[in-house]
Amino acid sequence: MSPLHDSQLVLMEIDEKILHLLHDRVHQCMALSGGGDALAAEEETEILAYWLEGAVDLELDEAAVEKICKLVLLLCKQTEE
């Protein structure tokens, strides 16, 4: 296997892990909303702050991480409906 192909496989494995984590998060949100415990706006704000702190710690682009977090929150919210 070529190094480029190896790198592509590693990226695909990481992408698969991300998708599984999103799936797990959506199902956890569904379980919360099923029990009447959907996330409040204040909790979403806390989650966003947590993600942004993580972005700083990991030296990731904060604006990009903020967008990703908001999309994840939206994905969970849409699933709850």
For 39-79, the pLDDT digits (tens) are 788 999 999 999 999 999 999 999 999 999 999 999 988 87
> How many domains does the chain contain in total?
1
CA distance linking residue 80 with residue 45, whole number of Å: 18
Best CA proximity match to 46, nearest among 34, 35, 54:
54
CA distance linking residue 65 with residue 3, whole number of Å: 29
Best CA proximity match to 48, nearest among 33, 21, 77, 68:
68
**pLDDT reported for residue 4:** 67
**pLDDT reported for residue 32:** 79
More confident residue, 45 or 34: 45
**pLDDT reported for residue 6:** 85
Tokens of 27: 């199902």
Q: CB 17: neighbour CB atoms within 10 A? A: 10
Which residue segment(s) compose the domain that 22 sits in? 3-80
